[in-house]
Structures are given as C-alpha cells and as structure tokens.
Structure 1
Amino acid sequence: MKTIKILSLAFIISVAPLFLTGCCWFDTCGCGDNFSQKYFKVNGWKAINVLIDSTTTNGYPYVRLDSLPETASHPYNKVGINMEVKAEYYSLMPINSYSSLMACDPLPNGHQGSKEKISAIRITSNQDFDTEHPAGTDLAEIFLIKKMGFYNSWSDDVAINLRTYSNGQPSPELAYTLWLTKPPISSKKHIFTITYEQTNGDKYIVTTRELTFS
C-alpha cells in the first residue's frame, strides 16, 4: 500500500505543471499572448491599387481589396493605394513548452505593434499633377492616410493628412490605405512612388502600377 501511495504522489507531481499551465489565467501565464509573435519589424512594403468609396460616413472609405486593370479609368475619390507591410514577427518572451495544452485562442501575429518609428512617408508621381505639383514633387499634402486593423478591418482612427501623420513619427502599422483629396489636372495617368523612412535609418521605396483618372 505504501508503494502505491508513493507512485500515486510521484504521478501527481509529474503531471501537475501540465494541468496548472492549461488552466492559468491570461494575466498570470500569458495565455493567448506568449503563444504568438507579438511584435513586428518592417522589412519592406508592397503597394496595391484598390477601389474605394471615400464618400461614406465620416470619410471612412469602403475598400475592395482587388487590383485595378490598368486600362480602366476611375474618379479620383473612387481609387486608392493600399500599403501592406512585409513584416518580420517576433516575441520578446520564450514560447511556453506546454502551449499545446492551452485552451485559448492565440492572438494574431504583430498584435502589440512595432517598436520602430516612422520619420517620413513621401509620395511622388512620374507625371505633373497640377501647376503646384510637377512630376517628382512630394504629394503628401494632398493625400489622406488611414490605417487598417487586423483582418483588413478599419481602425477607429480618422483619416488624416499624410504629411501630418508622418511628421508625428508614429509607429508603423501593418497596412494603410491612401487616397487623394483632389483630382489631377495636368495628366490623367500616374505611376506613384512611395518612399518610406524610419528614425533608425531604414528606407524602403515601392512603386504602384499605373492609375488612370477619369
């Protein structure tokens, strides 16, 4: 009988950490938090021309995440540019070895954001936009920017001027949508180049496909 008690005690001691880990609370063991790569680092960007509707409530555009045909033309307030980050995800804490026993949903990668800071976002065109903005001139003052949340949903933040946004040196988001506040006058066909810079010296340049404005 004594041998059975000893074996039973040894078994309980050996499996106790598994049950304790599987039943822990979010704030005590990081359930659903330590099991994802919480932060992201910018490794580049891609730019996609998209259809939008910037006339909806509070100026929050509805975005259709599909590429536009180069041969079609669109009103300036019906098209935008989606900037999507090429991210490297990481965590500052080691992954718990008992993660397979956790009965909670993992949070999405990058949910704690980035520790990097934006120093500038500039956007130029290969064509003259109007008399005040010849080809190669920074157009940030006539673009709005709105960040996207996870799963391509809109964040609660309002859309603001692109230059104002980048001058505030915010941390980067996983995705943005940019769109014009007025139509081009000098040319109807534009290829935009977006230059993204960080305070740590990192710099990335991305170019859109041609956009034709009606």
Structure 2
Amino acid sequence: MSARPVADTLTVIFEALGEVSGRSVLDAGCGHGRLAAALLGRGAGVAAVDPDAAAVSAARTAAPAARVEQASAEALPFPDASFDGVVMLNSLHHVPVASQAGALAEMGRVAKPGAPVVIVEPLAEGSFFAAMRPVEDETEARAEAQAAIATACAEGGPLRLMETLEYERLNAFPDVEAFLRALVSADPAREIALAGARADVERLVAEHGEPVANGFALRQPHRMHQLVKRS
C-alpha cells in the first residue's frame, strides 16, 4: 500500500493558492471547466484557456462568469503580471514536448511577483494508470512533463520551486463502462482505442480495483508543484 496520503485535487490546489476571493486566477488547460467553476465558487476572478474548441465551449457553460478563450499554454493572451495565481491541472503532459518549456515560462510571465504557480500532474503509477494503459499509455508523456518542470526550476530557469506534494486521488466508478466513459471524456481521441482495449481494461480493473459501495475504486498518484516566477 502506498504511503502517499489520499487527497482531493481541488483541496490540494486551494491550499497551494491560498485565499482566492477577490483575486485573479488563471486556469491554463481548463478542459471542461470544473476547476474554473470551483474557483468562481470561491470568489475568484477567473480567466481560463484551452486549445480545444469543444473544451472551451464546455468550460464557458460550466463557468459562465469566467473569461474563457481558445489558446495554448505556450502563447497565453494576457499581459505580463496579470494574475494573483496560475494553475495548470493535469494538462502539461498534453502539451507537445517541444512546447512545454515555453508553457511553463508563460505561466511565470503572466503571474504577478510572488504569486503561486501551481502545477498538478498525474504520475505514471497506480491502479488507475494501470487500468487505462491499454487505452492510452502516457508513461513517456508523464515523465517528460516532470522533466520539463525540473528544468524550469533549475538554475537559470524561469521558475523557483517552493513546495511539492505527492498524493493519491481515489476515483470511484459503478462499473467498467463508467471508467471508460471517464477516459474518453478527458480525451475524445481515446474512443478509437476502446474496441481493442476493452477486454484488457476489464481484466485490469478486476485485478486492481478496490471494492467500494456500489462499484470499485482506482488510485491515481499525483504530484503538485507550487512555484513562483524567479526574480
């Protein structure tokens, strides 16, 4: 059993950001807008970006009071020092490797001096990751994202590391179909791989799933980096 604590990702992010009420926060790689909506609920002024048009549409519905734009993390459409906090949740490993350094530099650029830049990334470990690998194996992509963060925090890099936290998110599902729907919701391109992967996913869920009320649970380890722009 892992020694990592089980934690809710939104709780981890809000603890890293500190008080957000009345402050400006950027959600970079906002997906369907869950984090943006939660930030609005805490009283933050929210801007969000995502390169995918469908995600932008969904985020505008989920967080109607946020400024949501279609843009990539490596070319943020905001002036220098615009935000009291910047968050990138489960998105850096989806940025092309050649652009990850630029994306991290951009998040530092738009953060105000001393403002937290919070990067949360899933690790290539855990029962959730094992069960999803037949659909998409992100081993290399996740390792590249961690390497990009390390490089950005090294001497001469644009960011300075303040804190890291490793934790596990416990994801519960009523059945395998619900798990597969969650994978496709996160990335519709995975739909193509489902037909050939279903039997392997069912086997891995049976092997790794933890019985819970009305279904099973899978564990996904994450690493949170709290950073600031290097002065």
TM over 0.5: no
* Bigger share in strand: 1
TM-score by length of 1: 0.24
Structure having the higher Rg: 1
**Structure (1 or 2) with the greater helix fraction:** 2
Q: TM-score, normalised by structure 2?
A: 0.22
